[in-house]
Each structure stands twice: as structure tokens, then as C-alpha cells.
Amino acid sequence: MFSPLIKELMESLRCLPGVGPKSAQKMALYLLERDSQGADRLANALRDALDKVGRCATCRTLTEDTECSICLDQARDGTRLCIVETPADVIAMENAGSFDGRYFVLLGHLSPIDGIGPEELGLDRLENLVRNTDVEEVIIATNSTIEGEATSHYISELLKPLNIELSRLAQGVPMGGELEYVDGNTLALALKGRKKL
Amino acid sequence: MFSPLIKELMESLRCLPGVGPKSAQKMALYLLERDSQGADRLANALRDALDKVGRCATCRTLTEDTECSICLDQARDGTRLCIVETPADVIAMENAGSFDGRYFVLLGHLSPIDGIGPEELGLDRLENLVRNTDVEEVIIATNSTIEGEATSHYISELLKPLNIELSRLAQGVPMGGELEYVDGNTLALALKGRKKL
Ligand SMILES: [Zn+2]
Ligand SMILES: [Zn+2]
């Protein structure tokens, strides 16, 4: 009952994560009925980002500049490098506020089934970066998932010969976590990694 | 920590209803990291819709054609006209499946505070439509809200002199509604409108 262009707008809105047919319909009608200015701004922002955003030449995070603001920041500690899966993970680490080194962003994790191997994650570039700069410690902060663990394992094997300090984020009971609600795998890891008091 | 173009994309995604800062960040990164094809399609769909979608010359619903598909459909009953606030209401009525007349879409309701008066809702065109076509009954299906009621009242006063049948959707307990959970105003209306058995 909608015209083709309105239908196409509804369908294309469904590429957004978490947007089903109902919300897509609501969004499309809202934009057309009440916020054509917002829709115009969004169309421009999408076009600009698609045309200009690429990857930081050093850490591979998303940016329209040659190098991202963290890589350009001379005040950051260049001896420590934290490896994360995505730009959102960089934000999470920055918000935690206890790391002032640099990052390397994989933009994914190893997933042979999807054709994502070491090359797609830029691991050759990572190796060169660690080899040719003053990095002394690499902290692997990939997700605590099967894929994140496999990626972590691969990277640690790759970097071991370079004679640097290698570490992985600690796993265990989250802060404020009540044992009753912590899943079994996490508890097992927390037990295995228990610390002497 | 995000570059200006990525920030702009996140901010402009917030024009979508129901999208807060967290989901906007998630959507922007998802599009840039994993679905540039979807983002491209969305940018084009927005641009096309903004450039070409206007209003049906007859019923004022959103369409890129001169007249919408319902107005063009010769099989519909031209003697009955249903007045609704938005295109989504047309869909709701069509899904209910018991109306085969035509529609008039206000694209809003009277709201003097927002500068929305009879002219903005196309009520002069509505009057002409009823006067110059073979409409015999007008069913006012504006929302059952204060604004919808006020709009309904205004329209009924406007059309009364035209000597047609005028009706308003019935109000009452929704199907499957348990009295315990029906709000007081609805119950009062249902009682007032009780039918002899
Ligand atoms: Zn960088
Ligand atoms: Zn129409």
C-alpha cells in the first residue's frame, strides 16, 4: 500500500541493527511526515562517511584522516599497545580510563568460515608495527568469546618471537557481580585464575 | 575519540525515532565496519524519497506519484470516505480489512500551538472533495486523543452543511480487553455508548 520509493526506504532502513519491519515503517513515515531536515542530514552524513571514512594508517581504526587522533597524540605511551576487535572497544577502554598507551584495531576476529584470516585483520601490519616501533608490551584485549580467544591465541603465537611482554585481559567475576548470577564458564575461569591473598 | 564524520553520522542517526546515543553509535559503527552496501542503499533511498515523495493530489497521503494506488483503484467504493491522521493509519485500516472506500489523510491533527490549522491539514481540499465527488458517507477515524477528538469535531462541523452521512469510529473496550486493565476513560466511554441487546 506504500509507493515504491517509500517501500524502498523502509526496506533499506532494515540494514540498521535492531530495526525490524515495524520500526522501519515507523522511521520512514516519521522522516517523511515530520523530519525531512533530519532525513536530509542523515543522507548527507551517510554519503560523506561512505566516501571519506577509511582506516587509520597506523592502528587501522575507522577515521577519515590518514592517522586517528590517538595515534597522533604524542602524549600517549608508545611502549604499550592494546589490541582490540573494534572501534567501540577502543571507546570502552578509553572510558575505563586506566590505559594511556596506543591501540591496534583488528576490525573483526579470525573467522575462516567468513573468509576472515590474518591478512584481513592486518596482522602482518601489526607484526611490523611491533617490530619497528618502541612497543615493549602488547595487551591482547579481544573479546572473551571463542573467536576472540582463537584470535588472541593466534596473535600471541605470532608475536612471541619478537621478545616483548605479552598479556591478555584478566577474566573473572565482573565487578558487582553476584556469584549466583555469574555463568558457570566465567566462574570456572575465575576459580582457575584465583589470586593468593 | 571518533573522527568528525563518524560523530556526524552518529548524531544524524539520532533523528530516527527511538534511537538514543548508544544505538546511534552501534548503528554507525555497524554500517562502517560491516555493511557499507546497506549504508549506500539507505543513503540513496533517503535521497530519492526526499527528492520525489510528495502528497497524493486527491487524498494527501505520501506518494511519489500524482495519485496514490488507492485513489487510482477503480474497484474501491467512492461513496465512502475515511478520514485518518497518517499513512500508518491507512495501513492499519487496510489490515483490518473491512473498509473498501477511499481515504483522506490529514498528515497530522489540529494543533494551534504548532501552527497546524485547517489549512495545513488540507481541510479546504477535503470540503471540495466531499462537495464535488459522489461521497455519501464520511467516517472520521482520527485518533482517540484530545487532539484527534478536537480535529474530529472541527471536521464534523465543517462537513455538516454538505448533507452527507457523518460518523466517527466507535470507542469502547478493545477486543480481548479485560475490564480490569482497561483505563477509566475508555470504560466510561464504553458505558456511555452501551448497546441494547
Ligand atoms: Zn590510529
Ligand atoms: Zn490518494
ipTM of the predicted structure? 0.83
Q: What pLDDT band is residue A40 in, cutting at 50, 70 and 90?
A: very high
**So what's the pLDDT on residue B197?**
67
**So what's the pLDDT on residue A84?**
93
- Say how far apart CA A30 and CA B59 lie, in whole Å: 19
CA of A103 to the centre of ligand 1 (A): 7
| Residue spans per domain, chain A | 76-168
Report the gap between the CA of B34 and the closest CA in chain A (Å).
Answer: 9
CATH assignment of A76-168, given 2.60.40.1180, 3.40.50.300, 3.40.1360.10, 3.30.420.40? Answer: 3.40.1360.10
Q: Would the CB atoms of A49 and B5 count as touching at under 8 Å?
A: yes
Residue A28 has pLDDT above 70, yes or no: yes
Give the three-state DSSP class for B27: helix
CA of B87 to the centre of ligand 2 (A): 10
Identify the CA nearest to A28 among candidates A40, A17, A43, A13: A13
Which residues in chain A have Cβ-Cβ distances shorter than 8 Å to B12?
Answer: 38, 41-42, 44-46
Tens digits of residue pLDDT in A76-132: 999 999 999 999 889 888 888 888 999 999 999 999 999 999 999 999 999 999 999
Of B8, B69, B70, the CB nearest to A45: B8
CA of A62 to the centre of ligand 1 (A): 8
Which residues in chain A have Cβ-Cβ distances shorter than 8 Å to B103?
Answer: none
Q: Number of C-alpha atoms within 13 angstroms, CB side, residue B104?
A: 27
**So what's the pLDDT on residue B145?**
87
Q: Would the CB atoms of A15 and B64 count as touching at under 8 Å?
A: no
CA of A144 to the centre of ligand 1 (A): 23
Ligand nearest the Cα atom of residue A107: 1
- Other CB atoms within 10 Å distance of the CB of residue B30: 19
Which residues in chain A have Cβ-Cβ distances shorter than 8 Å to B57?
Answer: none
- Say how far apart CA A48 and CA A101 lie, in whole Å: 30
Ligand nearest the Cα atom of residue B81: 2
